[in-house]
């Protein structure tokens, strides 16, 4: 089990590459790559989750020694890109820039607050509550998604669909890990610090995380770039 985290992070990158190569639009490929690169930086937050949430055996035992690990960077890279384009891969959408008039509508006065709402919510919960960081993450993702929905109601269909689609893919991904490494979840996850609820062996919190990522992250590119979806 020492290299399970590394192997499954690499498998996620293989899935990422397959999806990336299957995209027809250059804009979608750019979107996937750019979001993945930025999302990979979230892997640096791993010390917030080790050992409060889990303690994965990692390459060179970095997670146990420092809290950081190389696998988290790979995982965050793969998750970010897949969450942002999975809807586009299925429904073959296109983007077009919003007009100047649209950008100056009343709801967009909170544009920057909405963009940074998720990290702000997470920071406040992390500092002022005793919540396990995985719950702070979920609340921040959903809260950030709701702020985005307020500013960009045109993206709500993509956000909700992506949340369910990505959750399904993430669930299958975890089932493959469980099948290959029976007992890995019980060994690595700090189940006593969270709900301990397993859905076909998958921690409930992992599915919550996947739903939140799909909900918020699917809209991040359009929100930042002032794009709207053209069917």
pLDDT digits (tens, 9 = 90+) for 135-144: 999 999 999 9
- CA angle 145/147/152 to nearest 5° reads 90
Q: Which residues contact residue 17 at a Cβ distance below 8 angstroms, ignoring those fewer than 6 apart?
A: none
Per-residue pLDDT reduced to its tens digit, 178-211:
999 999 999 999 999 999 999 999 999 999 999 9
pLDDT the model gives residue 116: 95
Show pLDDT as tens, one digit a residue, over the chain (231 residues). Answer: 789 999 999 999 999 999 999 998 888 899 999 999 999 999 999 999 999 999 999 988 888 888 889 999 999 999 999 999 999 888 888 888 888 888 888 888 888 899 999 999 999 999 999 999 999 999 999 999 999 999 999 999 999 999 999 999 999 999 999 999 999 999 999 999 999 999 999 999 999 999 999 999 999 999 999 998 876
Mean pLDDT of the chain: 93
Per-residue pLDDT reduced to its tens digit, 29-48:
999 999 999 999 999 999 99
Q: Are 192 and 199 in contact (CB under 8 A)?
A: no
pLDDT the model gives residue 229: 86
pLDDT the model gives residue 15: 95
Domain count, the chain: 1
Percent of the chain with pLDDT over 90: 80
Q: Are 180 and 4 in contact (CB under 8 A)?
A: yes
pLDDT the model gives residue 88: 87
- CA angle 68/69/71 to nearest 5° reads 145
Q: Which domain does 8 fall in, by range?
A: 4-230
CB burial of residue 63 (10 Å; 0-12, 13-18, 19+): buried
- CA angle 13/73/45 to nearest 5° reads 145
CA 42 to chain centre: 9
- CA angle 160/86/210 to nearest 5° reads 60
């Amino acid at each position: 089990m020492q290299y399970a985290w590394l192997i499954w992070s690499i498998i996620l990158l293989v899935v990422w590459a397959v999806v990336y190569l299957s995209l027809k639009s250059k804009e979608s490929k750019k979107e996937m790559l750019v979001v993945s690169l930025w999302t990979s930086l979230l892997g640096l937050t791993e010390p917030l989750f080790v050992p409060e949430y889990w303690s994965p055996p990692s390459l060179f035992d970095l997670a146990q020694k420092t809290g950081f690990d190389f696998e988290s960077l790979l995982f965050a890279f793969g998750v970010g890109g897949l969450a942002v384009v999975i809807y586009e891969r299925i429904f073959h959408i296109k983007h077009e820039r919003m007009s100047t008039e649209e950008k100056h509508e009343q709801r967009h006065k909170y544009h920057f607050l909405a963009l940074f709402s998720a990290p702000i919510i997470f920071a406040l919960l992390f500092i002022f509550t005793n919540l396990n960081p995985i719950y702070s993450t979920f609340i921040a993702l959903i809260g950030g998604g709701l702020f985005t929905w307020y500013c960009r109601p045109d993206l709500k269909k993509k956000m909700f669909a992506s949340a369910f689609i990505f959750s399904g893919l993430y669930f299958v991904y975890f089932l493959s890990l469980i099948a290959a490494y029976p007992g890995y979840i019980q060994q690595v996850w700090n189940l006593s610090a969270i709900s301990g609820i397993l859905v076909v062996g998958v921690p409930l919190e992992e599915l919550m995380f996947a739903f939140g990522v799909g909900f918020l992250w699917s809209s991040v590119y359009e929100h930042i770039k002032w794009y709207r979806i053209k069917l």
